Each structure stands twice: as structure tokens, then as C-alpha cells.
């Protein structure tokens, strides 16, 4: 058992004492190295009788859809070849409540969890994740290792010209359903952008009671036309199934869709949002060096680059042509402020949930 871990009893899950997460992850990476070395050696002929025990699979919580598809291809399958350990991804909604339930009912089951930056910081503060007590930064429970653009997608047949967030609110000219995330994160930013707030002051405005009121009042204008999604996969499915004529979606879900849907939808690359993700190690799983080895490997720069290279993130030629040259130089995305949300999500999310439930 790695230093810094102890068990309350032979039946209880491992508990992480306040030692460095980095130490634990290095212990896991150290456990991986012999497997790497062994993988490079010539293998003896298999015995005709008897079977070696199959190592337990590594269960990972991540986001279903194109994110999982790409992770399986460029992260999980290479890791399986490297270590001969099966990595099994499972979709989840990325919420604190879901992780708390998993820790309560399936402690030690999840080797690693892909989390939005603000959620990783929040769960770290709640003690749900193994953390580096010597790290006083926001990355005490893990660094950011993936960045995904989210943008407005729109049905080409329903708009004569590429719409802006202002057009997203124009239900008189463009009647029909719109899809947004069932979460104040990104949704309130979009509301302020649609209300004319410059991108560089969105969080300064959102940090004030008046700014929050302004965002909720803007959402109220199109409440009857909104359909909500909770996961990236659901965001894409609502659009491709005809549930909305326009919506907020990970760009890769559209760029990586089947040909008919790629032709049907376009993306507005202006005022898109950049969401960062990292890998957390549940505290109940930190006693297993195999879990730590996987998390260590996923956080390495080579793996970050592999995902970034594979994730569709550039405008199509149709989008470039439709922009009239405006996308010749791709405008920068607006980064979601994880520090702001890690400090303010709880009260704003409570208000957001109350607003949705009391139509």
C-alpha cells in the first residue's frame, strides 16, 4: 500500500491521509513502469493448460458521445495495450451529487473521473478526491488536461445567415425551440452575451447581484422556447433529432457527426466558450496503485496532446465560406472562469434550479 494510506478496518475502503496527491500518483506511475518494461520483452509461449487470472478492469467516469469515442481510441485503447488492463468508460452527468452518490454506494469502484474544471475544484474542497496538500493552487486535486469548445449550432435550413446570440433570442424572426445547458455555468454567460455584455467583462458583470438578475431576466424572455440538456451527448442528440433549430453544443459533437448532420448544421465560432476538464481520483480509489497509474498516465502531456489532436476543433470549409471571410482568422474562445464558478456555483445553482422548476 502506498505511503500515506491506511485502512480503518480490513473491510473499510482506503482513506487518504493528508499527504501529497502527487506522491500518490507517482507511486501509481511507478507501478505502471514494470508493466511497460514487461510489455517490451519477448513473451514466452503460452501454457497449454491453465489461465492467468484476468486483472480487474479499470472503470472510468467520463462523458458519453464523441468525447468517449475519442478517448477510447487515443487514450484507453493505447493504455490497454501498454498495461494489459481493460479500461471501461461509463457516462455520467458531471455533478457533485452524482459523485457523492457513487462514493456512498460504490466506493473504490471508479479509477478516475473526468470533471469540468470548476467541479474538480469543488469536489476537491469537499474531500471527495485525492489531493496534494502541498499544492495551494486550484490544481490540488489534478491539473486541467483537456479543453473543449462549445458553440451555437444552427440548422442551415432555418436561417438565411449565420445567427448571433442576439438572433438566438429572436423568436419572432426565428420561431422554434432552442437548447441550452441545464446548468448556470455557460448558460448565464450566454445570456449576458446576448444582452450585449462584452466578452471581456462578462464575469465582472456576473459577479454582481445586478448582473445575475440581468442574466436571469434575459433567460426569462425565451423560457417557453427552451429545451434543456445535461450532457454533451444529449446536447447533440437534441439537435440531430430535430428537437431544436439551434442550440449550444460541443463543437466536436457536430464536426464529428455523421455526414448528413455535418451538412445540416453549422457552427457560430464567434463568442464560443472554452470549457476545461481534468481527471480526479476519488479518495476511495486512491489506495489502488493501478488506479493511480491510470490517472498519472492520463495527465501526461503526451496524452493531453493526443486528445487535442483527435478532437475536431476547426471550422469546416462550409462554415468558412458562410462567414464571408470572417473566419479566415479564427477568433479566440471565451474561457469559462473555473475559479469564479468554484466560488459562486452553489448559490447561483440553487437560484437556477428554482427558476427552472417554477415556470
pLDDT, tens digit, for every residue of 36-70?
444 444 444 444 455 556 678 999 999 999 999 99
Which among 116, 110, 77, 88 has a CA at the least distance from the CA of 310? 77
Cβ atoms within 10 Å, residue 20 = 16
Topology given in CATH for the domain delimited by 148-274+314-357: D-Maltodextrin-Binding Protein; domain 2 (3.40.190)
Of 5-19, 121-135, 224-238, the range with the lowest mean pLDDT is: 5-19
Cell numbers describing residue 110: 471508479
170 DSSP 8-state letter: -
Q: Name which residue leads in pLDDT, 327 or 245.
A: 245
Cell numbers describing residue 294: 491510470
In 55-197, at which residue ranges do the beta strands (DSSP E only) sit? 58-62, 87-91, 110-116, 144-155, 178-181
Domain boundaries, the chain: 16-36+55-146+277-309, 148-274+314-357
Residues 136-166: b if buried by 16+ CB within 10 A, e if exposed: eebbbbbbbbbbbbbbbbbbeeebeebbebe
- Tell me the pLDDT tens digit for each residue of 284-318: 999 999 999 999 999 999 999 999 999 988 766 56
Tell me, what's the pLDDT at 31?
Answer: 53
Superfamily of domain 16-36+55-146+277-309: Periplasmic binding protein-like II (3.40.190.10)
Per-position DSSP letters for 73-96, written without gaps between them: IIIIHHHHHHH---EEEEE----H
Instruction: Using DSSP, state whether 344 is helix, strand or coil.
Output: helix
Per-position DSSP letters for 222-245, written without gaps between them: TGGGEEEESSHHHHHHHHHTTS-S
**Percent of the residues in the chain that have a pLDDT greater than 90, as a whole number:** 73
Residue length, the chain?
A: 359
Cβ atoms within 10 Å, residue 316 = 17
Q: Do domains 16-36+55-146+277-309 and 148-274+314-357 have the same CATH topology?
A: yes
Question: Measured between alpha carbons, how far is residue 101 from residues 96, 97, 98, 105, 288 in Å?
Answer: 9, 6, 5, 6, 20
Q: Are 39 and 83 in contact, with CB atoms under 8 Å apart?
A: yes
Residue 34 has pLDDT above 90, yes or no: no
Which among 108, 107, 132, 105 has a CA at the least distance from the CA of 120? 132
On average, the pLDDT of the chain sits at 86
Tell me, what's the pLDDT at 17?
Answer: 41
In which band, very low, low, confident or very high, does the pLDDT at 14 lie, cut at 50, 70 and 90? very low
Tell me, what's the pLDDT at 138?
Answer: 82
- Tell me the pLDDT tens digit for each residue of 63-121: 999 999 999 999 999 999 999 999 999 999 999 999 999 999 999 999 999 999 999 99
Tell me, what's the pLDDT at 288?
Answer: 93
Residue 33 has pLDDT above 90, yes or no: no
In the chain, what are the helix, strand and coil shares in percent, each to the nearest 5?
45, 20, 35
Alpha carbon 242 to its chain centroid, in Å, reads 24
Residue 24 has pLDDT above 70, yes or no: no
Amino acid at each position: 500500500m502506498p505511503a500515506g494510506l491506511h485502512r480503518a478496518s480490513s473491510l473499510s475502503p482506503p482513506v487518504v491521509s493528508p499527504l501529497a496527491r502527487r506522491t500518490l500518483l507517482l507511486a501509481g506511475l511507478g507501478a505502471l513502469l514494470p508493466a511497460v518494461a514487461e510489455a517490451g520483452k519477448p513473451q514466452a509461449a503460452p501454457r497449454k493448460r491453465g489461465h492467468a487470472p484476468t486483472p480487474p478492469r479499470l472503470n472510468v467516469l467520463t462523458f458519453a458521445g464523441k468525447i468517449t469515442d475519442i478517448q477510447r481510441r487515443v487514450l484507453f485503447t493505447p493504455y490497454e495495450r501498454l498495461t494489459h488492463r481493460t479500461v471501461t468508460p461509463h457516462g455520467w452527468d458531471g455533478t457533485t451529487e452524482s459523485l457523492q452518490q457513487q462514493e456512498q454506494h460504490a466506493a473504490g469502484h471508479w479509477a478516475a473521473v473526468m470533471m469540468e474544471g470548476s467541479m474538480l475544484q469543488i469536489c476537491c474542497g469537499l474531500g471527495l478526491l485525492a489531493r496534494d496538500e502541498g499544492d495551494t493552487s486550484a490544481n490540488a486535486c489534478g491539473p486541467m488536461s483537456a479543453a473543449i469548445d462549445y458553440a451555437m449550432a444552427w440548422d442551415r435550413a432555418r436561417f438565411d445567415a449565420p445567427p448571433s446570440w442576439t438572433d438566438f433570442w429572436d423568436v419572432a424572426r426565428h420561431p422554434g425551440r432552442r437548447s441550452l445547458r441545464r446548468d448556470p455555468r455557460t448558460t448565464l454567460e450566454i445570456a449576458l452575451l446576448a444582452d450585449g455584455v462584452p466578452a471581456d467583462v462578462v464575469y465582472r458583470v456576473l459577479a454582481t447581484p445586478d448582473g445575475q438578475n440581468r442574466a436571469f431576466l434575459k433567460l426569462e424572455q425565451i423560457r417557453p422556447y427552451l429545451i434543456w440538456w445535461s450532457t454533451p451527448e444529449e446536447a447533440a442528440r437534441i439537435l440531430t433529432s430535430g428537437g431544436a433549430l439551434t442550440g449550444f453544443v460541443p463543437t466536436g459533437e457536430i464536426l464529428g457527426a455523421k455526414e448528413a448532420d455535418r451538412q445540416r448544421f453549422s457552427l457560430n465560432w464567434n463568442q464560443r466558450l472554452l470549457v476545461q476538464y481534468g481527471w480526479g481520483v476519488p479518495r476511495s480509489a486512491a489506495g489502488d496503485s493501478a488506479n493511480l497509474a491510470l490517472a498519472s498516465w492520463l495527465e501526461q502531456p503526451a496524452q493531453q496532446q493526443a486528445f487535442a489532436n483527435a478532437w475536431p476543433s476547426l471550422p469546416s470549409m462550409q462554415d468558412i465560406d458562410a462567414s464571408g471571410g470572417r473566419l479566415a482568422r479564427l477568433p479566440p474562445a471565451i474561457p469559462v472562469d473555473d475559479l469564479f464558478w468554484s466560488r459562486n456555483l452553489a448559490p447561483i445553482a440553487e437560484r437556477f434550479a428554482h427558476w427552472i422548476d417554477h415556470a
